[in-house]
Structure 1
Amino acid sequence: MQNLEDLFRSFETGIRSIKATKPKEYLNSLGLDYAELRIGFNSGQFHHNKDQQFKDRFEALGVLKKSDAGVQKSTMTPYTVFGRYGVIFPLLDRENTIVNYFAVRFDLNTPVEEYLNTQGIYPSYPHPLTKKLYMVPTVIDAASLIQSKTLENKDAVMALHNGKLLPQHIEAIKTLNELEEIIIIKR
């Protein structure tokens, strides 16, 4: 694993694990199907038994942060893992490369939603021939709309970043030469 793409593939494998019953139950409660959408599960253990160079790469990406938590061996460095024990959604850049993650840490008293950074768009940059664009406040809203199968040919959906329109959203909209309508869905 070298980057966010490789790591996400391991998260996709994680959600398919027989042991991943709680994340599957959580997604089912939202009406989301990991077999139809790109969704992964981060158990928080991807860095275990890896060398320091591996950990340094993911620390540079912000997925790992050094922690002051106790560890079994004094030679080990403890880390906090982004989106630990959470379902993970990928955000893409213009080239359809994963540049960000949206995580829902569902197993806490109050679920926590977080982004790794401010880059990328979920589910992806809309196709240039998009005629109708749905703008929704969150990644979960976008995934729900996709899962509902109500989008027609030449429709697209784009999740805002916690309800905020960022420069990449504006840039993406400007590339839609056939755009006829933007539908903004609010909560």
Structure 2
Amino acid sequence: MNALEDIFHSFELGIRSSKAVKPKAYLNSLGLDYNELRIGFNSGQFHHNKEQEFKDQCEALGLLVKSDAGVNKEGLTAYTVFGRYGVVFPLLNQSNEIVNLFAIRFELSTPVEEYLNEQGIYPSYPHPLTKKLFLVPTALDAASLMQSKALENRESVLALHDGKLLPQHLEAIKALTELEEIIILKN
């Protein structure tokens, strides 16, 4: 298992916490069910009480960025946390490993959507026998389409990165040997 898999698993546990009232209410307002989709919650504290080696690894992944903010204990480093207090969706590579995260920081005056990097696909690489492919602007749009149960047999959805078609999307589309139709949904 890779580091992003482990961290995302902690986010999946986080959304199931009894303290995660606001993220559950936010998902409910969108019609999304974390029991049916892989969705997590990042409270921004996954690095607390962890060894420096873990924090260094998270910093290398882009999950933590050192900050000049004050800390209440001598010798501690302050960090800005990716997707802090946000719902988080995993993006996968062809081997179904988590290689990226999409977060929505919903508690801000204007919600902020952010990707950790430009790797991976949400929700996953489509089955090679897909006949109809829906391309949607973001992971949130893809999750909504999947949750709606509107997709039929041999239909798949791919979320673009902020509306951008990246090389991994083209690679995934080219691998669809029975593709008959691509439907592009825009906001």
TM range (shorter): over 0.9
How far apart, CA to CA, are the structure 2 residues paired with 1:138 and 1:54?
30
Partner of 1:128: 128
Change beyond 3 A, Cα 1:5–1:153: same
Matches within 5 A, 1:40-79: 40-79=40-79
> Structure 1 residue 115 and structure 2 residue 112: aligned?
no
SS in 2 for 1:23: helix
How far apart, CA to CA, are the structure 2 residues paired with 1:32 and 1:13?
17
Question: CA deviation digits over 1:40-94, x for unaligned, max 9?
Answer: 0000001001110010011100001111000012311111110000000000001
| Shift, 1:186, TM fit | 1.0
Partner of 1:157: 157
| Shift, 1:2, TM fit | 5.8
> Structure 1 residue 18 and structure 2 residue 18: aligned?
yes
8 A Cα contact 1:4 1:100, kept in partner = yes
8 A Cα contact 1:2 1:57, kept in partner = no
8 A Cα contact 1:2 1:54, kept in partner = no
Moved segments of 4+, more than 2 Å: none
> Structure 1 residue 137 and structure 2 residue 150: aligned?
no
Question: CA deviation digits over 1:106-149, x for unaligned, max 9?
Answer: 01111100000000000001011111000001111100000000
Matched letter for residue 157 of structure 1: V
SS in 1 for 2:7: helix
How far apart, CA to CA, are the structure 1 residues paired with 2:123 and 2:44?
23
Residue identity over aligned pairs, in percent, reads 75
The gaps in structure 2 that reach 5 residues or longer are: none
The gaps in structure 1 that reach 5 residues or longer are: none
Partner of 2:89: 89
What is the total number of aligned residue pairs between the two structures? 187
SS in 2 for 1:89: strand
How far apart, CA to CA, are the structure 1 residues paired with 2:2 and 2:54?
8
How far apart, CA to CA, are the structure 1 residues paired with 2:146 and 2:45?
30
How far apart, CA to CA, are the structure 2 residues paired with 1:108 and 1:55?
25
TM-score, length of structure 2 as denominator length: 0.98
Partner of 1:175: 175
SS in 2 for 1:46: coil
